[in-house]
């Protein structure tokens, strides 16, 4: 079905323009401009999310938990026949009003605050979040997948597997965002947390690690890490246990190594998980991530000091 007719299913009329957004790796996303404003319209990738209704149920629960929050919010999803999604030709589509960014400095601190708030609010919400991708942040699972297609595994990813095997012992499982890169927060008044598809149960350190990984793409930026960490701490309040605080640095290594494994697996595989990436781009991405991993290991003491503060 053409994109315009899907927007109409959500009651959006007077459409004047539709453009595709190509930055995501998994879903198809469009910006729809209508007389009533701009919207984001997005399909859900079936092969990645085999139970789309569970994803949308998770999102509905997140939206309910954030209904009374003033300083951090999540998108307001439009409804179709009383549900927060529409079905068309077997695909699931979601639509929400475009969120404007109006950053005026302090972006990283506010991003950290948003993700810390996310974990705190969900932790008190009583939401029943379903695991929509089995083993989504399971390092061992990605490692096993790589070994199935490649015999020459980078030794640092093997060493990391060993190192991480006990990192999250005694750490509580919480509702986390699951894709907590800084791009997924629109810093405005208030901040909006996007991309709720991978909200699942996991260690808070994984969200922390993803934030840090996503800002340190050209080497470890201690000031950026400090701002994110301070914001995260402020958003969380007193929620984290000592074991969780001690696990935060491991979260950085974990998500960085995990993503390196995933891109490397794509490089060696016939079919690619990251839609639209060529084999060479996947190899390049995995090498960048291995470089980042090395940088984090070198800066371990500095980062730990920031965390302890
Ligand atoms: C994918 O499509 P996007 O960028 O929101 C992936 C994340 C990765 C990210 C890497 C469901 O998210 O896990 O961290 O790419 N999402 C899924 O940039 O696999
Ligand atoms: Mg995502």
Centroid of ligand 1 to alpha carbon of 167 (angstroms): 23
Residue 259 in contact with ligand 1 by CB distance below 6 A: yes
Centroid of ligand 2 to alpha carbon of 303 (angstroms): 25
pLDDT band at 23, cuts 50/70/90? confident
- At 156-167, the pLDDT tens digits run 999 999 999 999
In ligand 1, the atom with minimum distance to the C-alpha of 45 is 11
Residue 180 in contact with ligand 1 by CB distance below 6 A: no
The C-alpha R_g of the chain, in whole angstroms, comes to 19
Residue 121 in contact with ligand 1 by CB distance below 6 A: no
Is the pLDDT higher at 252 or at 271?
A: 252
**Which two tokens mark 49?**
């999310």
Domain ranges of the chain: 2-98, 104-308
- At 175-229, the pLDDT tens digits run 999 999 999 999 998 999 999 999 999 999 999 999 999 999 999 999 999 999 9
| CATH superfamily to which 2-98 belongs | Phosphorylase Kinase; domain 1 (3.30.200.20)
Residue 198 in contact with ligand 1 by CB distance below 6 A: yes
| CATH superfamily to which 104-308 belongs | Aminoglycoside phosphotransferase (APH), C-terminal lobe (3.90.1200.10)
Centroid of ligand 1 to alpha carbon of 266 (angstroms): 13
- At 111-151, the pLDDT tens digits run 999 999 999 999 999 999 999 999 999 999 999 999 999 99
Residue 25 in contact with ligand 1 by CB distance below 6 A: yes
Q: Find all residues with CB under 8 Å of 272, minimum gap 6, and list them.
A: 266, 279, 282
Residue 207 in contact with ligand 1 by CB distance below 6 A: no
Centroid of ligand 1 to alpha carbon of 234 (angstroms): 26
Nearest ligand (C-alpha, residue 24): 1
Q: What is the 3-state secondary structure (H, E, C) of 187-253?
A: CCCCEEECCCCCCEEECHHHHHHHHHHHHCECECCHHHHHHHHHHHHHHHCCCCCHHHHHHHHHHHH
Nearest CA to ligand 1 atom 15: 25
| Beta carbons of 42 and 109 less than 8 angstroms apart | no
Nearest CA to ligand 1 atom 8: 179
Mean pLDDT across the chain: 96
Q: For position 1, what pLDDT does the model report?
A: 56
- At 274-301, the pLDDT tens digits run 988 999 999 999 999 999 999 999 999 9
Among 23, 26, 264, the mutation site with the greatest number of ligand 1 atoms within 8 A of its Cβ is 26
Nearest ligand (C-alpha, residue 25): 1
In ligand 1, the atom with minimum distance to the C-alpha of 133 is 11
Q: What is the largest CA-CA distance in the chain?
A: 57
């Amino acid at each position: 079905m053409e994109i315009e007719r899907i927007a109409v299913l959500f009651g959006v009329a007077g459409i004047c323009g539709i453009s595709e957004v190509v930055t995501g790796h998994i879903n198809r996303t469009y910006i729809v401009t209508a007389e009533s404003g701009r919207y984001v319209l997005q399909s859900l990738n079936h092969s990645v999310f085999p139970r789309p209704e569970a994803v949308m149920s998770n999102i509905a629960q997140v939206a309910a938990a954030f209904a009374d929050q003033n300083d951090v919010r999540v998108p307001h999803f439009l409804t179709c026949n009383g549900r927060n999604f529409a079905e068309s030709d077997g695909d699931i589509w979601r639509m929400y009003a475009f969120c404007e960014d109006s950053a005026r400095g302090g972006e990283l601190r506010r991003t950290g605050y948003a993700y810390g708030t996310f974990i705190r609010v969900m932790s008190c919400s009583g939401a029943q979040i379903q695991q929509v991708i089995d083993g989504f942040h399971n390092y061992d699972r990605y490692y096993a997948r790589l070994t199935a297609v490649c015999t020459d595994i980078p030794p640092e990813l093997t060493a990391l597997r060993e190192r991480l095997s006990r990192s999250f012992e005694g750490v509580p499982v919480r509702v986390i965002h699951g894709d907590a890169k800084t791009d997924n927060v629109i810093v405005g008044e208030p901040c909006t947390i996007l991309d709720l598809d991978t909200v699942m149960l996991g260690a808070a350190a994984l969200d922390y690690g993803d934030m840090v990984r996503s800002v340190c793409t050209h080497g470890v930026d201690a000031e950026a890490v400090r701002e994110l960490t301070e914001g995260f701490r402020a958003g969380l309040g007193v929620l984290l246990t000592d074991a969780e605080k001690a696990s935060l640095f491991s979260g950085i290594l974990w998500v960085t190594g995990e993503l390196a494994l995933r891109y490397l697996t794509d490089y060696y595989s016939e079919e690619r998980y990251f839609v639209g990436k060529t084999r060479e781009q996947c190899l390049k991405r995995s090498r960048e991530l291995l470089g980042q991993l090395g940088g984090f290991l070198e800066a371990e003491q500095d980062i730990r000091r920031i965390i302890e503060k």
